[in-house]
Chain A
Amino acid sequence: MSEFHTKTWGRRTRVTTVVAGIGILALVATGCARGANTGGGDESGDAVASSPGITDDSITLGITTPLSGPTAGPGTCTVAGLEAYFGAANAAGGIEFGDGNTRTVEIQALDDAYDPQQAAANFEQLKDSVFAMTSGLGTPTNRAWREAAIDDEVPQVLIMTGDPLFSNTEESPWQLGFVPIYQNEGAAFGELLAASGEDHKVAILAQNDDYGEGYVEGFKEAIEGADNVEIVEELTYEATDTSVDAQLTELAASGADVFFNAMSITPLVISSLQKAQELGWLPSWFLPSNTSSPTAILEPGGATAFPGVYSVSFAKAPASPAFAEDEDVQNFLTNLAEYADYPDMPAFPHCMWSYMIGGTLEQVFAEMTEPTRENFMEALRTVSDYQAPLMLEGTAVDTTEDGQPAVSSVVVQKYNGRGYDTVEAFE
């Protein structure tokens, strides 16, 4: 028997295998993300006094969020901030609820790796043991179990997605988004530019999905009727692309002096900043709140080369010298290290956002008169003009407005080489 496999048959078959393999890999690489439509949840008709996940002395919150995969950095933050807030609250004796009980808050977080199917499975796993789901990051992942949450009447609230669907009470009775919707952010940029009084040519690069479209929609609505702002070129890219060099080349040729880059992929933002410099194209930049981190994006991208990099925010940046002495920020960093096992300076705003969610939930708990999910949803809608910890001057939590997320107010900020300063006008 031959000791070695002699390959007299193989070439053509081999090529077929390889081509098939390429096809499989291409599918994997482009990550066919389709929202899983889990229509689960049979009506269990027995009305229990209190909902799952709550006792007289504790309440359990569930999170499904990416803890591994490319989005793990921000995802880990969505849990850490919440753990920091409630860890400190538990250590101080717990949270006082509107029904007179003082409860400690437990958190159960599961990893969905930004995979919609996994997120839906996580929800099924958690729904009977947690009182409410909160804080999880991601539009496709939160969408995947939105209908199941409605069917099972489980709150899916104060989640991190800019998708307006979650803040529409009619469509999503058991949901509420926390962070500003994409349109809010895009509109803030548009308003700033329209109010500048100078003529501006704008180039736009947008992610080819709801995220990119939402930003551009908000921006366009805000500049409607402003005759000093003209969009000279508008291109898209796919979230799976590994390079946007060609787009940048084309946009640079448009001669725009303002570049609105509605992009959610960290490495691509860094390489766009670098590419624009290589091309010698130095416009002012507008970047979304989730991809404008000074340490993770702007520094490696060499953003100081541009006349201005603008983003929107509603959270104090702990790394910024402006807040080095801020009591709010110092408490936050202490709690983050102590209760969330997160000793580093957060590179993502999600750490601050989930900390604010903790504060917002405490407000809601104080309004709850019965330990039920229905009562919680009613209480949820009563928070107005609440200045959560770490919130910037000029922004607040307001859950009373239908069609808007808990935070719909943002301030525009400009990069100062280390962190951001709030600006009143486009310079």
Chain B
Amino acid sequence: MQTFIQLVVDGLSTGSIYAALALAIVLVNQATGLINFAQGGIAVLSAYIAYQFTVWGLPLILAILASVVVSFFIGAFIERYLMRRFEKGDPDTAVVVTIGLLTLITGICAWIWSYNNLQFPSLFPLDTVTIFGAVVSVRSLGTIFVIVVIMLILQGLFLGTKLGLALRAVAINPESASFSGLKVGRLLMVGWGLAAALGAVAGAMVAPQLTLTPGMMDGALVYALAAVIIGGLSSPLGAVVAAWLIGVLENLAAVYVPFIGYDLRIAVPFILLFIVLILRPQGLFGRKVVVRV
């Protein structure tokens, strides 16, 4: 039982990292209708920026906040001067552009900061608390807590504010939104900016655990994308629940299903993906898109 609880909490903690990235992907998707493969790369860049601020002597929490602000502008800048050219065209082209962007940003990080593993300090102490006999690290709990807070803020943004409504309007129908007086371009920039800021939080939480390297988020990105599809593209809550599900199931399958073990556990999220998509093509929490013919 102790081991079981331990595995579940650890799964939630790794799942939270996937969730942070998944939330950013959902955000961009809500604002622009695109899937942004570069999200992982932008998060790594943000983590490096936070690292650089600490090198310059800022306390960690300020460094992370500064990186969140800088990342917002980087995200907005990328949308305005790069993605804008592709948003009007074929969405598949835009997706390929984001994959290219991922490679480019990884290369830029390596060029500036080298491929060496850098030590990134953790926001949380290495302490542990005991829950039902299982030892849970403060870092895991902290990570889970931060994600829940961000998820609630986003859910609130989309469903309860004018900005959220405007963002969704632009994504669903840019033309009508523009006719109703919404500043479409600015809203798109805000969507990308917010997603990059969110990625900065994810990056700062992952970096202490994986050590900071340019390819740090590659694995997490794959899981995050799976979580986005499983949870439904339009739902922050869905993305987080799916990411947690992936993290927990992966751990449990490795330990309790001998045939899967540690070697095949990477397949767990994708088996889950197929099952969910067959049963609910719009994802667990996604909205069905109805098109009138």
Contact = CB atoms under 8 A, between A and B. Distances in A.
Asked if A and B are interacting partners, one says: yes
A250 interface: yes
A330 interface: no
Interface of A: 2-8, 10-15, 17-19, 21-22, 25-26, 28-30, 68-73, 208, 235-238, 240-243, 245-247, 249-250, 253, 266-267, 270-271, 274, 277-280, 296, 300, 302
A280 B175 contact: no
Contacts of A68: 110, 115
26 contacts: A3-B178, A4-B174, A6-B175, A7-B91, A11-B289, A13-B92, A17-B92, A18-B35, A19-B277, A21-B99, A70-B117, A72-B116, A236-B261, A242-B210, A245-B13, A249-B6, A249-B10, A266-B117, A270-B211, A271-B209, A277-B126, A278-B137, A278-B139, A300-B119, A300-B211, A302-B126
Interface stretch (B53-61, B67-75, B157-165, B222-230): B222-230
Contacts of A270: 211
B88 A3 contact: yes
Given A21-B225, A245-B251, A280-B128, 14 more contacts: A4-B175, A11-B289, A12-B281, A17-B95, A22-B222, A25-B222, A235-B262, A237-B262, A238-B262, A240-B219, A245-B10, A266-B117, A274-B126, A278-B137
A69 B218 CA distance: 13
Nearest to A247: B262
B154 to A, nearest CB: 20
Interface in B102-143: 110, 114-117, 119, 126, 128, 135, 137, 139
Contact of B10 (A25, A208, A235, A246): A246
Residue in A8, A26, A266, A279 whose Cβ sees the most chain B Cβ within 10 Å: A26
B82 to A, nearest CB: 16
Residue in A69, A72, A243 whose Cβ sees the most chain B Cβ within 10 Å: A243
Task: Sort chain B's interface into a size bin.
Answer: 35 or more
B211 A266 contact: yes
B3 interface: yes
Given A73-B115, A250-B255, A253-B3, A22 B226 contact: yes
- The 9 A-B pairs of least Cβ separation, nearest first, read A4-B174, A72-B115, A267-B211, A278-B137, A242-B219, A246-B251, A245-B10, A11-B289, A73-B116
Nearest to B210: A267
Given A249-B7, A278-B126, A25 B221 contact: yes
B117 A29 contact: no
B52 interface: no
B174 A6 contact: yes
Nearest to B215: A70
Contacts of B215: 69-70
A22 B10 contact: no
Given A7-B91, A69-B115, A245 B255 contact: no
B254 interface: yes
B225 A271 contact: no
A208 to B, nearest CB: 6
Nearest to B122: A274
B263 A208 contact: yes
Contacts of A69: 115, 215
Contacts of A18: 35, 95, 225, 228-229
Contact of B115 (A4, A28, A70): A70
B113 to A, nearest CB: 11
B37 interface: yes
Residue in A25, A245, A266 whose Cβ sees the most chain B Cβ within 10 Å: A245
A10 B289 CA distance: 10
B218 A29 contact: yes
B218 A28 contact: yes
Contacts of B10: 243, 245-246, 249
